[in-house]
Amino acid sequence: MYRSNTCGELRLADAGKEVTLAGWVQRSRKMGGMTFVDLRDRYGITQVVFNNEVDAELCESANKLGREYVIQVVGMVAERSSKNPHLPTGDIEIIARRLTVLNRSEVPPFTIEDDTDGGDDLRMKYRYLDLRRGCVRSNLELRHRMTMEVRRYLDGKGFLEVETPMLVGSTPEGARDFVVPSRMNPGQFYALPQSPQTLKQLLMVSGIDRYFQIVKCFRDEDLRADRQPEFTQIDCEMSYVEQDDIINLFEGMAKHLFKELRGVELTEPFIRMPWADAMKYYGSDKPDLRFGMQFVELMDVMRGHGFSVFDNAAYVGGICAEGAAVYTRKQLDQLTEFVKRPQIGAKGMVYARVEADGNVKSSVDKFYTQETLQEMKGKFGAKPGDLILILSGDDVMKTRKQLCELRLEMGRQLGLRDKNKFACLWVVDFPMFEWSEEENRLMAMHHPFTHPKDEDIPLLDTDPAAVRADAYDMVINGVEVGGGSIRIHDSALQAKMFEILGFTPERAQEQFGFLMNAFKYGAPPHGGLAYGLDRWVSLFAGLDSIRDCIAFPKNNSGRDVMLDAPSALDVAQLDELSLAIVSPTED
Amino acid sequence: MYRSNTCGELRLADAGKEVTLAGWVQRSRKMGGMTFVDLRDRYGITQVVFNNEVDAELCESANKLGREYVIQVVGMVAERSSKNPHLPTGDIEIIARRLTVLNRSEVPPFTIEDDTDGGDDLRMKYRYLDLRRGCVRSNLELRHRMTMEVRRYLDGKGFLEVETPMLVGSTPEGARDFVVPSRMNPGQFYALPQSPQTLKQLLMVSGIDRYFQIVKCFRDEDLRADRQPEFTQIDCEMSYVEQDDIINLFEGMAKHLFKELRGVELTEPFIRMPWADAMKYYGSDKPDLRFGMQFVELMDVMRGHGFSVFDNAAYVGGICAEGAAVYTRKQLDQLTEFVKRPQIGAKGMVYARVEADGNVKSSVDKFYTQETLQEMKGKFGAKPGDLILILSGDDVMKTRKQLCELRLEMGRQLGLRDKNKFACLWVVDFPMFEWSEEENRLMAMHHPFTHPKDEDIPLLDTDPAAVRADAYDMVINGVEVGGGSIRIHDSALQAKMFEILGFTPERAQEQFGFLMNAFKYGAPPHGGLAYGLDRWVSLFAGLDSIRDCIAFPKNNSGRDVMLDAPSALDVAQLDELSLAIVSPTED
């Protein structure tokens, strides 16, 4: 062992002990005849002192140390004369007796400090240096503690962690698979799992009635801001349960994690909000409930007064931002620009201030009497000083989603999205299907294995679009941290589902035959849930992106810039795989 | 919840309680006016009774149940008149009041019993039914407990579990990679990691000084009996440590696992055997020390007596099988056939019996005096009743390996390889390199990142083949359950190593530049170890193959016969990946 202690553990009580420390040189400074070196490791920073009068040669060596040199120091723990109350080790220092340089370092390309001068690209290229920064390392520590707690909790509830294979079959339904050519089976490919969904269902068929796995999953998607081609799921499944059993158990787990990892006691049951309400009041299936500003629909109040924009709209609705009547014309124009950005796509925004005397002053005053505006004010329960923002459009759902973006932006501007506040809920009663314009058919909103609500099963034949599912998402602070459903365990119902989704019986059999066959041999009722580990850790760590809680993330082009992967293969390797590179077909 | 209790937990003390059970029909039998159903779940079997006189209709329903039907039963716990002492629940039965069929089952293709009538292929195709068998499920339970214990142990020692990426760069050095075409980077490929070796070394550079991960690894090899294309490693790495620190810590972990999972207390330190001794005395770098039969070299005794086979051999050596002089001529002929099989490749075998009077009777008596044979007997310390078996050859190492096979076979035949006995050791002081006939160059015996022994570093220039490495394997019962090494942390030494391995500086930079660059920024001394999880579980479970401790294993052609993977892709999918299938080039 190169050290007797870490750089984080020595205290005043250790004074007088001879110790050996090893670590990185954070910084060093000469003051008079003394050289002070801050020595850093994973556990903290300890000050090491070299005294030129006592040992000039040793001190001279210390003066030559550069940033990030790896050194070993033998010395005595001593009380500091000028203590540093900001460091846990700030009461002591090490009077060095011996110094060994274990490895030198070139000058690092950015400073190894929480507040670094390195940009994103540089930090990713030198991720191994970036990870030396305490603020990044602490995310990995949190991730470790989180997975330990999850396992402890689920193990205590009788769950078995079962590893499912990474090399599985490709299923074109759903997102795009990453595939793996098989050398032993030329022309054939494995796929990397998008989730162990069907495999965990097979584990239920096999009688493992409480399964979990913390597992890598893969999706070959065009990467949006906060997606990674590989991500980690806490994947769970249970047999002989109904929706409430699953929700209760995993709500319990969420509360346990909040308590253990964030010290937050959540005593109240989480709200369970039907999907239809989430869309109506927040324009989102993952509403951020840290703040109010529920949508108010204004079709009855605001239509029919000659303002053609509203008169011709299928939806007119707004939010009331408390105390925001102080917004300037410039700020309001910026909000209008915000909702008109192509990513949001609103045509415009109407606003109305509630003035000190209670009068409403709006951007469309010429179309509305004060009486109507007062009626509108009443709908919001708005008070003097409040600001009302209204959007409209001819597609109800689209307009709600635009209003959702506006609500979130106002929440941000008004400081209502506090990272240390947590608003948890379940969104339930999802629709079974959603219409895909692209595919011109119904698609499964969750996945084709989701159980419809028993009372809606007759609608499968008459009005499938109206069928609700036994599906549920857990949402925290506007982030979907997990979701799941009760699954179909009956092969006839599963076959019907594939039929509604446009599968021929042959294609259903070809792609999911293994599952439907398994259902013939005594599949128990079952259901489950998957939590996104990366999202949970980001949430607990207060990160804006999941990237910083991943040791070696990929960039938006799916590249690992540190490893410089992916890269070209040797021709021999391609040959062995019976593959050739071809130019993509023109679109 | 479909049940109030599991099928494994009710006892006599529960008599009188109304309970709801759910599970699978293991078997049912009619006796007089009663129908008895054995109801099974993951936790056990409980007997359910239907009485025709009390409720004829209910009993009639019970009579219609088939094997593996999924049912729910409501009833009263009652004391059995004829108790079953072999079942934990054997004192009670459930007097059924209600029966619900939750799902029917076709007749399963094999019996769901520990002693099943299903062959390997059938069991793999219907693995979800195979997993219902208690003896298979218990392997998965053991695997779960093992990973829980490993994590508990390492977490307690300050290790952080860090997930490293699955989509990395391909490195042609070593075994063959599985590769993953990148759609976003046409013509480029990721590789699946053969191990997180370089990534965990980067974590050491980043200051995470105690890392572990239980992680899937991938090797595209032609599959031998007990290999899987994907397997699971307990991967560990530490900084600021020397070989002894790593060995001590992971020996401690091994002992902990033996105690917790097998109830075996291993109090003695594990033997540390130099690789050269392992080869000399056991002809293997993973000797099975459950039994003796150490090799005895006989070159000095047996050469020069006119027996040309021995006279011309570079190696003559044998083993002494205690009490095996009773072996018949037929048995000895079979042993000779055994060593002459092409997989082993010996030319023949010489044997010698020690008779009751102490005389030695050998198959080569005409060449040797009794005096010489007595001298040989003395070398083995053989007693009357012992059997001496001797092999010879012109390649020392090859002959030792043949003798190793013979030793293992004799151990098997004499019942010395008891699955409930455990002999653990470390093999240390491995050679740094081994000569590859195929590549006509030195290859790294472990991998190119292994640190040579400090005292052997000068030999790198003069006699690289003689250099020993700071490498170590843990061996239990003849199985290598793990191995590791101290790593190079100096970029100059690492560059020299690549040079000896025949890399040009350019190719070394191209393939491992990320690591060598990282070493320039203060890499600490480090080393580690990886345990094979599958092997550990097999060992603890007493399995002959790792396959049965894997939920969904692949067969020898790398196929998952249940999922029918790998399989062909849609042309559209290939197109998106800029790939075409070509016929393999003729060899």
Domains of chain A: 12-103 (2.40.50.140), 138-272+424-549 (3.30.930.10), 291-413 (3.30.1360.30)
B229 touches chain A (CB under 8 A): yes
A524 closest CA partner among A155, A163, A208, A161: A208
Give the Cα-Cα-Cα angle A469, A283, A372 (nearest 5 degrees): 130
DSSP class of B521:
B
Q: Residue B44 has which token pair?
A: 């056990």
Identify the pLDDT of residue A257.
Answer: 97
Q: Residue B243 has which token pair?
A: 């070989």
Identify the pLDDT of residue B104.
Answer: 97
Three-state DSSP class for A539?
helix
Task: Judge contact between A482 and A529, C-beta under 8 A.
Answer: yes
Angle at which helices A134-156 and B134-156 cross, to 10°: 140
Give the nearest chain B residue to A184 (CA atoms): B557
CA distance B121 to B561: 8
CA distance A134 to A140: 10
Long-range Cβ pairs for the range B331-336 (8 Å, 24+): B332/B363, B335/B389, B335/B406, B335/B409, B335/B410
A73 closest CA partner among A94, A104, A91, A87: A94
Q: How far, rounded to the nearest angstrom, does the alpha carbon of residue A224 sit from its chain's CA centroid?
A: 12
Mutation choice for B interface testing from A167, A205, A547 by most B CBs within 10 A: A167
Identify the pLDDT of residue B571.
Answer: 87
Give the nearest chain B residue to A570 (CA atoms): B172
DSSP string covering A230-244: EEEEEEEEEES--HH
Per the CB < 8 Å rule, is A165 touching B230? Answer: yes
User: Using 50, 70 and 90 to split pLDDT, how confident is the model at A132?
Assistant: very high
CA distance A103 to B578: 45
Which residues in A403-422 are b (16+ Cβ under 10 Å) and which e? bbbbbbbbbebeebbeeeeb
Per the CB < 8 Å rule, is A582 touching B581? Answer: no
Token pair 């692949």 is found at B554
Give the nearest chain B residue to A132 (CA atoms): B206
DSSP string covering B532-577: EHHHHHHHHHT-SSGGGGSSS---TTS-BTTTTBSBPPPHHHHHHT
Token pair 């053609």 is found at A308
CA distance B243 to A486: 51
Identify the pLDDT of residue A585.
Answer: 52
Give φ, ψ of A117 to 5 degrees. -95, 5
CB contact set of B78 (below 8 Å; sequence gap of 6+): B15, B16, B49, B92, B93, B94, B95
Give the nearest chain B residue to A222 (CA atoms): B184
Q: Which of A102, A172, A223 sits opposite B570 (nearest CB)?
A: A172
Mean pLDDT of A81-98: 96
Q: What is the pTM of this model?
A: 0.95
Per the CB < 8 Å rule, is B1 touching A569? Answer: no
Which tens digit of pLDDT belongs to each residue from A30-43? 998 999 999 999 99
Give the nearest chain B residue to A189 (CA atoms): B566
B585 pLDDT more than 90 = no
- Residues in chain A closer than 8 A to B207 (CB atoms): 24, 40-42, 131-132, 137
B511 pLDDT more than 90 = no
A580 pLDDT more than 80 = yes
3-state secondary structure B376-433: HHHHHCCCCCCEEEEEEECCHHHHHHHHHHHHHHHHHHCCCCCCCCCCEEEEECCECE
Share of chain A above pLDDT 70, in %: 98
Q: Residue B91 has which token pair?
A: 């004192």
User: Using 50, 70 and 90 to split pLDDT, how confident is the model at A386?
Assistant: very high
Mean pLDDT of A97-119: 95
Burial of B297 (0-12, 13-18, 19+ CB in 10 A): middle
Identify the pLDDT of residue A248.
Answer: 97
B71 closest CA partner among B142, B139, B21: B21
Least confident of A374-383, B128-137, B165-174, B189-198: B165-174
Tell me the average pLDDT of chain A. 95
User: Using 50, 70 and 90 to split pLDDT, how confident is the model at A171?
Assistant: confident
Q: Which of A192, A522, A552 sits opposite B68 (nearest CB)?
A: A522
The single-letter code of the amino acid at B475 is V
Closest approach of chain A CAs to the CA of B162, in angstroms? 7
Which tens digit of pLDDT belongs to each residue from A396-412? 999 999 999 999 999 99
What is the longest distance spanned by two Cα atoms in chain A? 94
CA Rg value for chain A: 30
Per the CB < 8 Å rule, is A165 touching B102? Answer: no
CA distance A498 to A447: 11
Strand partners, A25: A39
CA distance A171 to A163: 20
Which tens digit of pLDDT belongs to each residue from A338-371? 999 999 999 999 999 999 999 999 999 999 999 9
Task: Judge contact between B279 and B299, C-beta under 8 A.
Answer: no
Task: Judge contact between B130 and B561, C-beta under 8 A.
Answer: no
The total of other beta-carbon atoms located within 10 Å of residue B146's CB is 21
Give φ, ψ of B428 to 5 degrees. -125, 180
Which tens digit of pLDDT belongs to each residue from B223-260? 766 789 999 999 999 999 999 999 999 999 999 999 99
Strand partners, B427: B273, B473
A130 pLDDT more than 80 = yes
User: Using 50, 70 and 90 to split pLDDT, how confident is the model at A227?
Assistant: confident
DSSP string covering A278-346: HHHHHSSSS--TTS----EE-HHHHTTSS-HHHHT-SEEEEEEETTGGG--HHHHHHHHHHHHSTTT--
Strand partners, B431: B468
Which tens digit of pLDDT belongs to each residue from B367-377? 999 999 999 99
Which tens digit of pLDDT belongs to each residue from A180-193? 999 999 999 999 99
Q: Which of B209, B552, B578 sits opposite A42 (nearest CB)?
A: B209
B341 touches chain A (CB under 8 A): no
Three-state DSSP class for A536?
helix
The total of other beta-carbon atoms located within 10 Å of residue B397's CB is 12
- Residues in chain B closer than 8 A to A205 (CB atoms): 128-129
Identify the pLDDT of residue A173.
Answer: 66
CA Rg value for chain B: 30
The single-letter code of the amino acid at A237 is E
